[in-house]
Structure formats: structure tokens, C-alpha cells
Structure 1
């Protein structure tokens, strides 16, 4: 059944898709993963993976969604009837469910800091912000309540649909986020010793790169663009057939890379200036932000503003994750949207409780030396997303007629056959090969194969 809702405008689609892509991926995760993975060399790899794998994959998901005008599971079933390829959509729904279960925990952390900021409880002279963060996430009752509130907000917006919920929120929030980022960067770059942070972030040092770093960079590129989980299949299904697919994809990738650059320039100069540790981990942003705003006149006010926008950016990503799940159940019957949004939201909250308690009640429970929170993150970012990407690349290049792909991709576009052939070659050969090589290298099988041959 065709979806009954559509974006009211191309800019609404671009901002919503960009909001899905940016969120926690670029602002929270990229700085801390860059910090633990070698700095500039990792960021360069992230850019390359984004441009040469993320961008083509984004277009692929757009083609699948817009050509069928259906949510993820139905879209694959429509393009490959009487086959099992619709399991790609189901994998995307499962991945989004798991992703939102620990993502909502981060959203809860932001809510806690925002609430503290409103009452002047974040910035204090001489404070050890690392200890403050550990104490904050170590309170089991508070983090669970905050996670619940974050999911409740997400559910209410998604229950209201595409135009009145997701699109309307993103049109206001995304431009405001860019503006406040500029303020933060200006202050961060003017701190003493800030250039050491810039050098760490932008000057590649490949001596720190390992196969695990390459996997992280690839996973981060997919995570930041929300590809591999068919979120963009669902979002593009609401896009009018009259719109080009190329221009929105370019805009989304450009905005994502810009925010990633801004996040790094805001965080790492401050990290080095204030003598903090770039490999701080998931709490990096929550340690650095109060320390930076502590150096600014009216810092508490600016911090509250930034936390508000960071919260909204996080919510825009949460909207897309919940939307793919709800849309797969609603299947165009919008009268069911509210019921399913609330049911799924409650289930995600329950599944996310172990991640929320990873730094308190369940702190001693480790999976391969990782906390429950980190394990869920690793499974989604470095296994399920690359697997989804591999399957999508195989599907798009082997199960859909090349003429259909060419027509859908080049519609309302100035690009010609050469650009299409390059895109198709990347989808058919480059992406599957790179993913397989990276996985073989991480597991140690690549060295064994090389030794054999």
C-alpha cells in the first residue's frame, strides 16, 4: 500500500533527513570516537568513507524508497516479490529498535544536563566535570526517568505524523543548531593552546590507525548518515516523484560533514587547552562543554541554549529511528500511527534499561570487556549497519533492473550516463569488497588468507 503522507517541500525533506543523519552521530559520537581512534587520520578516513560509500548508499536507499513509495519492508517486498530480500527491511527495523534503545539513554543524559543548566547546576568554578558526569550517569533512578522522558517526546512527535510532527520540528531546529555551533567554535579556538587540538583533529597521523580504527571509521560514516538501516528508504518514500534525488543527497552529506567538522573544531581545541583527555570516551562531550562555557561570559546561558539545540538534534535522529519501525507496522494506514508509536516507544524503553544502568547497577556486567551500553553501540555501528549496507549494495545492483535504477536516479537531474555508471560500479563492486576486506582484517582472517596465497 502506498504511503498516504508526503513531505510538504523538498527543504522539509532535506532538513528532516539531515536531522536524522546529524544528531548524536556527528555531535556526540564522532568527537569521542575520533579521540579514541587517532585523531586526524581517523577523521580523514571518516570523510572518505562518507563520500565514497555513504553518499552512494544514501542514493541507493533513496531510489528504493521513492520508486516504491512504501516503507522499508514493503519496499523490498515490492521490488523483489516472492523472495526473502524483504528481510533487509526487517534487519533495518531491528537495528533501529536496538539503536534507539541505547540512543535514548544519551538523549536522557542531555535532558539531565539541560535540566541542571536551567537551575544553574552545571557550571561551577573549579569543578571536576569528569566526576560530575560519572556521578550523573551513576544515578539509576534519574537516568531511567530521563530516558523515559526523552522517548515520550519522540513518541509524541512521531505520532503526529510527517508534516505536522517531524518536518515542522526540523525546519526550526536545524538552522538554530548551526548558529550556536559557530559561537562555541569561536570561543573554543580562542582558548590558550587551542591549536594543538586543531592539529590533533585535522593533521593525519596514520601511525595510530589500526584495522579496528578503519572499522570504526566505516561504521561512523554509516551511523552519521543513517544508512544501512533503511531509515532513508522510509523517509524518501514520502518524497514526491517530481523531486530530484541527487540534490537532496548532496545537501544531506554536505550538512553532515560540515556539522562533523564544526563538532571537532568546537571540542578538540578545548580538550587540549583545558588539559583534558581526548580518549575520554562516551562522556567526552559532557565533560568538555561545561568546561568551555565556563570560560565564556554568560556561559550558563549559552550552555543551556546549546544543550537545548543538542537535545533537539538528538530528537531529530530519534524521530527517524522510531518512524521506520512505526511505518513498517502502519503500512500507510495513518489511523494506526498513534497506537503503534506508543506501543513501540514503551518496548524500546524497556529494552534500553540495561544500557541506562550500564554505569551503575550493571556496571560489573561486561560483554567482551565492553559495558552493556558499549556492546549495544558496537553491535549496531560496527556489525549490523555494515551488514545492512552490504545487503543493500547487493540488492540494488543485482535485483533491480539497471534501466529502472538509471531512470529513477537521473530523474530531474543534470547528471548523465557516466555519473550513473560510476555510482553503479561503486554499489556493485567497491562497497561489498571494502566491507568484506575490513571485516576479514578485523577478525584476523585477512592475514591468514594472505599467508595462504
Structure 2
């Protein structure tokens, strides 16, 4: 007998949890740096368009399947299958989602651990513990194992507390904190020399930069930024009340995610040009933008160093922002395999969480000990291959395999007369044909 399932107690709780899942490091550094590398404001415009052209319809597929089944990803897809073949494929896709979510979390926890280290470093500096500060910002195996273990432990503590007392409670605390920190940092950075140049790059579109590559890159960013393809939104949908309107909630999640990603750009791009004004190199010798970990671990700390004592407090605020963003995403990723363990293995949440969490930490440790060989490989397998393939599979299940009358009946719960809306007239065929083609196009572009 499986353990009783939890449920979000309010719309706000679900929105904060779902938005938190979507708003992670990919939004805070991935979106702004991709914008800077792909035409600035032109990329932003295309991204905003693609978020509703691709991400929202795919998100709706996961939420609807999840709420209908009220089960983990494996059981949910098997439950809407029409026969033994599609049931087998549903199980295969479900297990694939659990594996990919676990692999993403295994490397994500390492990067999030770096954020924990950089958050702790200014405190060590303030109390005069220079040796500890150097150790926290150094790249050593013991440091990486320690901070990854701390971050993984925080994620497990939240998940072990359940849906309402863990995921929902902490999401409603962390997301407003993230938004407040983001706004305060934007106000501070925009007052610095060089910020207006970054703001101009971000907000003044040059549509001569538009290209098929830019559009596909924006499409991929829109898809990945909503944590689609690995079952996180499916699981969160399974904890939703039947009385909620899924089309409206899905639109709100998309708007919040896009809004925070856009707002993060108001911080990151101006900060980059502030760093350049202060003498920090933000472009490589080949003229390409220093992005990703290089931006977070090299460019911005160098900027904070130029600010003197004030820089320590700015660094604390910034890396607190990064840790919060990491945590709101990691809890959704851990919930995917934990939900499976609870419902399929029949074990309690407080036992399932450490068992699954420690197994993923073991993968993280393996990556840390073999960083050069494994880190990039795991990132590539999970995000470049796993997520797009699973995203296509979920759209196929929602559009082709699930019976249309059952799909409509589920959407009508909480949204009467949905059959008469523009959403129902467009979405069913759109998720069948257009979404898989768009995801495959972004997938092929990433390979090429």
C-alpha cells in the first residue's frame, strides 16, 4: 500500500513551487548570458514569444497528465496508455524521466554547492578567517564534496517534510525572498558606472541579429527554463486540486518564469558591463562572452572585489539569490524519484527521501572525483539529449495516446466550458504536431 499523497493547499503555494522549479540557475545566469551572446534584446523578444509558442503548451501537457493520474511519472503515463505497447512506452518514458531528473540533480547540486561556498566566503572574510575564505573559493575535491553535501542535505530536509509542509511552505518563503534580493541588487548595480551600456544591449533590439540559430537557441532556452521533459511539472500537477483551472495556472507559471528570467537580465547584463568598466575581462580573447560558471565564479566576484567592504555585502546578497534559485529547483527534481519510491516501493517519505537523496549524492561524488571526464558528459546526456527526447514523448502521450474525451474531462475540472475556449480549439492539435516539431528543431540545433 502506497503512502497517502500530499496536495498543495492553495493556488499561491502551487504557483510559488512551480515557479521555483522553473526559476533556477538557468534563468539567473543562463538566460541573460544567452541573451548577451545572441543579439541582446533581439534574443529577449524571441524568447518571450517562444515561451508561449512552445513552453506553455508543453507545460500544459505535463500538468494535465499529472493531475489526471495523481501518481508519479511512471504510473501516470502507464495510466493513460491504450494497450500493452503504449503502456510499455509509458513506463520507459517514466523511468527515463526519473533517471534524467536524477542525473540533472547530480551535477546541479555540485554547481549549487559552489554557490553555497561563495555565499559563505564573505562571512569568513568579515571575521578575518582568510584561510577558510581561500578554501571556500578554491577548486578542491574536499571543498566540492563538502558544499555539495550541504546543499544536498538542505534539499533532502525540505522534501522529507512533504508537499504542504516542505515543498509548498519553503517555496512560499524562498520565492518572495529571491524576488526581493533580485530587485535590491538591480537597484544597486544600475547606479554603478557602465551599467547603462549593459542595459542598452539588453533592452534595445537590433533585429538585424535575427537568424534561424538565434530563434532555435531562444526556443531551447524557453523549453529548458520551465523544467520541462523530466516530470517535475507532472509531479507538481499531481498535487493540484481538481477545482483549479489548469489553463490559467499554466499561463501564470509561464508568466512568472518569463518575468523573473527577464528581471534577472536587468541584473546580470548591467553587472557584466559594470565589471568591464572596472577593468574585469568579460569577453574571451576570441571575442566571445565569458558565460556560465566562468561568469559567476570569475567575472562577478572580481566585480565585487573592486567595491571594497560594500562588495562583501553585495556578494552575500547575490550568492544568497543564487542559492535560493538553486534550492527551489533542486527540490522539484528530487521529488520526481522520491514520489516514485513512495508510491511504487511502498516506503514512507522520511525513508524514501534520504535513500534517493544519498544515491544521487553518490553520483555527484563520482562526478567530483572524475570531474573533467564526467561533468560535461552528464550535462550533455541529461540536458542535450534526455530532456528534449522526453519532452517529445510527453507531448505524444498528451496529444496522440491519451483519449481525447478523458483529456477534455480533466481540463473541464476547474474550468467549465473549456471546450468553447480558444485554448481547447488550438492546444490539442498544437501539442500533437507543433510542439514535438519545435522541440526536435531545437534538439537538432543543439547537436549541430
Aligned-residue offset at 1:37: 4.1
Match of residue 376 from structure 1: 378
Match of residue 95 from structure 1: 100
Match of residue 19 from structure 1: 20
Paired residues in the alignment total: 426
Q: Report if aligned partners of 1:3, 1:238 keep a CA contact under 8 Å in 2.
A: no
Aligned-residue offset at 1:165: 1.1
Deviations 1:397-447 (A, max 9, x none): 111122222232243237534321211122011112223334455556xxx
Aligned-residue offset at 1:97: 0.5
Aligned pairs (5 A) from 1:44-443: 44-80=45-81, 82=84, 83-84=87-88, 85-120=90-125, 136=137, 138-205=139-206, 214-275=215-276, 276-277=281-282, 279-283=289-293, 284-290=295-301, 291=303, 295=307, 298-331=310-343, 335-356=347-368, 362-363=371-372, 365=373, 372-413=374-415, 415=418, 416-440=420-444
Alpha-carbon distance in 2 for matches of 1:405, 1:180: 40
Deviations 1:140-168 (A, max 9, x none): 21011111111111112111211111111
Alpha-carbon distance in 1 for matches of 2:445, 2:20: 33
Distance 1:338 1:442, change over 3 A: closer
Match of residue 286 from structure 2: none
> Bigger shift: 201-210 or 275-284?
201-210
Deviations 1:332-351 (A, max 9, x none): 88852222211221221221
Structure with more of its chain in helix, by fraction: 2
Alpha-carbon distance in 1 for matches of 2:433, 2:4: 32
Q: Report if aligned partners of 1:188, 1:267 keep a CA contact under 8 Å in 2.
A: no
Deviations 1:2-27 (A, max 9, x none): 95211121211111111111022211
Alpha-carbon distance in 2 for matches of 1:374, 1:115: 26
Alpha-carbon distance in 2 for matches of 1:269, 1:133: 28
Alpha-carbon distance in 2 for matches of 1:152, 1:135: 18
Alpha-carbon distance in 2 for matches of 1:2, 1:63: 22
Deviations 1:11-61 (A, max 9, x none): 111111111110222113223333444433333333233211111111111
Aligned-residue offset at 1:73: 0.9
Distance 1:8 1:33, change over 3 A: same
Q: Which runs of 5+ in 2 are unaligned?
A: 284-288
Deviations 1:70-129 (A, max 9, x none): 111111111116322222221111110110011001110011011112223699xxxxxx
Alpha-carbon distance in 1 for matches of 2:382, 2:160: 25
Q: Which runs of 5+ in 1 are unaligned?
A: 124-131, 366-371, 445-453
Aligned-residue offset at 1:354: 4.8
